[in-house]
Amino acid sequence: IVFVVGMIRGNESLINMLLTAISLAVAAIPEGLPAIVTITLALGTTRMAKLNALVRRLPAVETLGSTDIIASDKTGTLTQNKMTVEKLVVGGEVRDAKTGAGANDASDEGVLATLLMLNNDTKLTADGLIGGPTETALVQYNMDHGVDAMPFLNAHPRQAEIPFDSERKLMTTVNKMSDNGDLWVTVKGAPDELLKRVTQIQLNGQVTVLTDVLREQLLTINHQLAVQALRVLAFAYRPVADVPTEMTSDLVEQNLIFAGFVGMIDPERPEVAGAVAEAKSAGIRPLMITGDHADTAKAIAVRLGIIAEDDDAGVITGAQLDELSDADFEKKVRQYSVYARVAPEHKVRIVNAWQKQGKVVAMTGDGVNDAPALKAADIGVGMGITGTEVSKGASDMVLADDNFSTIVVAVREGRKVFANIQKAIQYLLSANLGEVLTLFVMTMMGWQILAPVHILWINLVTDTFPAIALGLEPAEKNIMKQKPRGRASNFLSGGVFGNIIYQGLLEGGLTLLVYWLALTFPVHAGATQIHADALTMAFATLGLIQLFHAFNSKSIHSSIFTKQLFKNRAFNWAILTAFILLAATILVPGFNTLFHVTTLDWFQWLIVIGAGVTMILIVEVVKLIQRLRKSAA
């Protein structure tokens, strides 16, 4: 259009109009935007890596900023994954583990301690105990009570086993107990599951029938320990003459003798409660997923601030979840914040239910069976320390420290990256719109238009440098006080598109106003000199307004007059460099000839600078009105 109109008016030659049209096309297309977005995302991943969040897929940085739900495993992520035995329950009595007995003792406590050693996959090495934190804690308890672990295990070799699985929540071994060939079936697992298979109890050195009254008493004790945030394991055994021919749960894990409970503590990570509070203030809902008893899960969730103490309805078990259809669960999913006694396959249902509510879900996982849930989630979060290679491969981000608070830090960084990309887009597109508007109106009005070299220089110098620097802006103070932007959001959401339009029109309007003022109130005489001055002032104004506007773009809605105005050193240097390069085209002899500009006097410079200041003031007023409307709403 500009080319055709310019040729019709006949004010410019064919070559000049062609070059102008091409230059305008270059100015209209934000060719630097893909590079700026990529650079900003890459810098975000670098910063996250320093904070122990290793991003495996670049777009995940931006997605993190829109997270609505963080579904986290309890053990090792919300807690320290450092188990210690705190309580023993034998004969229906709760005892302090420090005063307990080891596996060498003939008491009821000694029988329980023996099972702690035998039903255990911990490896004893020269470097210490190798195994899961729960099982190493059981061996450590015995070692603390004088048991020499290696000779004891060598004297009671394992003959057979049924490995633990998350369905039955039990593990069984068969161990040799003496040189006479005596064998014990040993079973450990979830108290509620194991007590279903127990018929007798070890009591005061004797084996007696487990009455219903005593069974209820044990369940009550289990609840009391669980609400103290203790993880409770039950242990039972049964003497057998021979190794069972079929090692199945139905044949082996029956008619057992109850030996006792062990209550273990896995302390919460001290920084997690603060991270949970920060997530909630950011409108993010944290969920806890665990294989622990519901009472234990709730107690820890309350201590971390995930749910309120009176929120019993916020806890659901895997068994209860199995009773709900997908449709029913989708209707009730907002009710639950704690998932207890769940299996890995339940995680997929949790992810799907929240996604159907339109939420962006981050899910943690460390096992092979967690891979489907990590793939289904918008952000799959693997564990760098305890995670399997399969779970890491299925994840979008890996936590080098397995820490929940690192997820929240990554979300904050993701929000910052998204906000900075928005700032760069708003700055670039509004600047490009201002350039296009200026040339279009000049052409339609029959005025002399900016030369191609003016457009390209502005596009190169005052567009690119500040836009890249905006990608390095520090996070705004209220960034974690804002609600998640939602699944449907994009870089033009949140008022950015409207800002681009009015700010682009404002840039072009101010430039045209300065051009008109230069023509109407000339400083020099002669038509040629007057038009040369007007074009120079329009060129300087368009470039300088964009540099002033770069400061506007440091925040989409907040005022720029804060302590952070000059905090971004890269931005400061970018503005200074761009200003020097822009001023050099007018002030440095030789350059002004190359760029077809004239030397301006102080009054003309005052008008140019005044236009730049006006740009800041008008945008600040609009931002104020936007904030007032938002607060009123």
Concerning whether 73 is annotated as a catalytic residue, the answer is yes
> Which runs of consecutive H residues, i.e. helices, occur in 333-463?
344-355, 371-376, 389-394, 404-445, 452-458
Diameter of the chain measured on Cα atoms = 121
For the record, the structure tokens of 156 come out as 């009671």
Q: Which helix (H) or strand (E) holds 130?
A: strand 128-130
**Catalytic pick from 68, 73, 266, 366?**
73
Closest alpha carbon to 612 in 567, 530, 566, 551:
551
Question: With the CA atoms of 266, 269, 272 and 273 taken in that order, what torsion angle do they form, in degrees rounded to the nearest 10?
Answer: 70
**Contacts for 414 with CB less than 8 Å, ≥ 6 apart:** 44, 61, 62, 63, 64, 65, 66, 67
CA distance 547 to 616: 10
CA distance 318 to 73: 14
Q: Show contacts of 214-221: CB within 8 Å, 24+ apart.
A: 214/92, 217/92, 218/89, 218/92, 218/191, 218/258, 218/261, 219/191, 219/192, 219/195, 221/89, 221/92, 221/94, 221/261
Cα radius of gyration rounded to whole Å, the chain: 35
Cβ(514)–Cβ(535) below 8 Å: no
Query: How far lies 279's CA from each of 153, 305, 472, in Å?
Result: 47, 11, 23
Beta strand spans in 226-360 (E): 230-240, 256-265, 285-289, 315-317, 338-340
CA distance 441 to 446: 8
Q: Which helix (H) or strand (E) holds 128?
A: strand 128-130
Amino acid, single-letter form, for residue 616: I
The DSSP output letter for 244 is -
Cβ(441)–Cβ(508) below 8 Å: yes
For the record, the structure tokens of 202 come out as 């070890």
Q: Annotate 209-227 with three-state secondary structure.
A: ECCHHHHHHHHHHHHHHHC
Closest alpha carbon to 280 in 74, 63, 483:
483
Cβ(122)–Cβ(129) below 8 Å: yes
Closest alpha carbon to 451 in 568, 592, 306, 567:
592
Find tokens 């108290």 and name the residue: 191
The bridge status of strand 170-176 relative to strand 183-189 is antiparallel
Cβ(362)–Cβ(484) below 8 Å: no
The DSSP output letter for 471 is T
What is the set of active-site residues?
Answer: 73
